[in-house]
Amino acid sequence: MIWFLARIMFILHRRGILMGVTVSTATPFKTKALTRGRPLTIVCTMSERHDASKVPESLDPGYRLAARGRKAAEDDRLGLLEEIFDPISRRRRALVQPGWRCLEVGAGRGSMAVWLAEQVGASGHVVATDIDVTYLERLNIPNLEVRQHNILEDPLDTLGLASFDLVCSRLMLFWLPGKQETAIQRMAECLRPGGWLVDEDGDWGTISPVDRSHPYYARYQRTWRDGEWWTSRGYDPTFGRKLPMLFGKCGLKNIGNEATAEVVRGGSPWARWWQETLQAIRVWEQADGGLTEEQKEEYKALTTPLTDSSFWFLNALLHACWGQRSSQEPSSSSG
């Protein structure tokens, strides 16, 4: 049994969950059923796993899904994203009330901004921002305002400091490695005292095939490496689970978190969306510096199974985190 427990600790250590593991029989953990009469202590030094989002500026991977040069393809990909994620995103924003001012950061095609505009009604107002407003400019709704804005760089006073009842973002922060806390802090500064911040982001490294006997399994796993495929590109494969910690560091209160995942099959809407997402990243990398034959084969290993209905896989763990700005906090004057 000691060997078994030590082996578990070794595996956790290899995965970066435990940074130090000591197995000792020197102190009295006297559970004879487990230790056959020998006192056992397992001392674990816990440490946060190396955060792949904290990359040097020279390795800043940036956003790899820009619509430039692939507008129609990105329109289709975002359409699938809305089909998959909008129902649960609406539930997670159900606290919105008529008359509220809402801000949607990184609004994409604007489906959630449109829904928020419906919820707040004529007496409310919604601002939808993105660094590329190609799709948002198609919207024409009286209480919905579209702004081209970079949450990291552009002045916040142009949006309205401390003026929003609800600020939201979805699947955006993952693409800002090393800058997520700054983005959250700036979004929080847009909240009025007592206002709420809601973000949804994934542990995109948790995608995993479920059938070890499937012909695609071994090749997929060799390429994916339990999500380390993301790490090699400068991203954090388990970023989503860090949201509550980051919300707390930014001073938000009443923080909550939930996470969901499903087992889906190749050819499903989720699989098609994920395939198009990987293909978009492939196009970006090809344009950025070209792909080796090995890299082309890696993309093939990851995308081919997604079209096969016999390939079942656990999709990404999608986190939703919410937190409230203190009602006693004075408004910020920074921009």
- Write the pLDDT tens digit of every residue in 271-326: 999 999 999 999 989 888 789 999 999 999 999 999 999 999 999 999 999 999 99
Q: Is residue 332 part of a domain?
A: no
Rounded distance, CA 162 to CA 164, Å? 6
**One domain for residues 20 and 150:** no
> Structural domain tally of the chain?
2
Structural domain contains residue 115: yes
Given pLDDT bands bounded at 50, 70 and 90, which one contains residue 36? Answer: very low
Position with higher pLDDT, 238 vs 54: 238
Residue 21 structural domain:
2-46
- Euclidean distance between CA atoms 331 and 189, whole angstroms: 8
Q: Are 223 and 301 contacting, i.e. CB atoms less than 8 angstroms apart?
A: yes
The reply to whether 243 and 217 lie within a common domain is yes
Rounded to whole angstroms, the Cα distance separating 188 from 112 reads: 19
Q: Residue 109 is part of a domain; what is its CATH number?
A: 3.40.50.150
- Considering the domain architecture, whether residues 35 and 137 belong to the same structural domain is answered as no
Given a cut of 70, is residue 153 above it in pLDDT?
yes
Residue 157 shares a structural domain with residue 136: yes
In this structure, are 296 and 215 located in the same domain? yes
Statement to judge: residues 34 and 159 lie in one domain: no
Verify that 91 and 188 share a domain, yes or no.
yes
Q: Specify whether 234 is located in the same domain as 305.
A: yes
pLDDT in tens, 162-195: 999 999 999 999 999 999 999 999 999 999 999 9
In this structure, are 38 and 88 located in the same domain?
Answer: no
Q: Are residues 200 and 236 part of one domain?
A: yes
Q: Residue 67 above 80 pLDDT?
A: no
Quick one: pLDDT at residue 72? 85
Query: Residue 116 falls within a domain, yes or no?
Result: yes
Same domain, 248 and 290: yes
| Count of CB atoms situated within 10 Å of the CB of 232 | 9
Let me know whether 84 and 168 are in one domain. yes
pTM for the model = 0.79
Render pLDDT for 200-256 as a digit per residue (tens, 0 to 9).
999 999 999 999 999 999 999 999 999 999 999 999 999 999 999 999 999 999 999
DSSP 3-state helix, strand, coil percentages of the chain (rounded to 5)?
A: 40, 20, 40
